[in-house]
Amino acid sequence: MTSGLQEQKRELLFSKLDRNNDGAIDQSDIFAHIEGFLRDFNVPMDSIQAMDIRRSGAELWQLLSHADSDGDRVITKEEYAEAIDESVVERIYVSMNASFFRIIDVDGDGLVTEQELARALLRDGIDPEGVRAAFQRLDTDGDGHITKAEWDQATREMLLSSDPRSAGSMLLGL
């Protein structure tokens, strides 16, 4: 059973994926989300990074399509919420967000700075104060950088935690 906060997070993620705002997600919505991110970060569309994140998007769609209970080839908010569980988070979202991490890490040093995180979160409509709070929560060891392990943990919390102060909640601007 999911908490009210987990439902809120899933609704927010659903709305980010529903690019045409028609109340349902189809494969084109997922790829439009990915393509927009790649464009915003000036990632060459034929790069390994772009191919990697598209592969994760295809895996997400394949998994979500199994939740299409009425066979109409679109995923409703309810079908999406039902499909997201711990195994999906581990198999799909952690992998996909690892691809986002590598893109956000503009200098390629394997660490995300507050400035690098800000570029991604401001794009998603999170205000500067929210970015600062998210960075502080994600940087669990306080060393001034977000590691891949810290990012992966925040990804898990983004969908699974019912703690409003978790790093995953902060990533969503909650």
Q: Is 159 among the domain residues? A: yes
Predicted confidence (pLDDT) at residue 152 exceeds the cutoff of 70? yes
d(CA 140, CA 58): 31
Half-sphere exposure of 85 (CA within 13 A, CB side): 7
- Burial of residue 115, with CB atoms counted within 10 A of its CB: 0-12 exposed, 13-18 middle, 19 or more buried: exposed
Q: What is the mean pLDDT of the chain?
A: 89
Residue 38 lies in a domain: yes
Total tally of structural domains belonging to the chain: 1
pLDDT of 71 strictly over 80 = yes
**Does 98 fall in a domain?**
yes
* Residue range of the domain that includes 149: 4-165
Instruction: Judge whether residue 1 has pLDDT over 70.
Output: no
pTM exceeds cut of 0.85: no
Which CATH number fits the domain that encloses residue 9? 1.10.238.10
pLDDT at 32: 94
Which range has the worst mean pLDDT, 59-68, 109-118, 135-144? 59-68
What would the pLDDT profile of 79-123 be if each residue is shown by its tens digit?
988 888 888 888 888 888 888 899 999 999 999 999 999 998 888
Long-range contact list for 48-55, CB < 8 A, 24+ apart? Answer: 49/99, 49/102, 49/103, 52/99, 52/102, 53/96, 53/99, 53/100, 53/103
- The pLDDT of residue 41 is above 80: yes
Task: Say whether pLDDT at 161 is over 90.
Answer: no
Beta bridge partners of 112: 146
- pLDDT at residue 2 in the model: 62
Show the beta-strand stretches assigned E in the chain: 24-25, 75-76
Q: What is the pLDDT of residue 104?
A: 92
Gyration radius (Cα) of the chain, Å: 15
| Residue 108 resides in a domain | yes
Whether 151 maps to a domain, the answer reads yes
Angle of the 48-65 helix axis to the 27-40 helix axis, nearest 10: 160
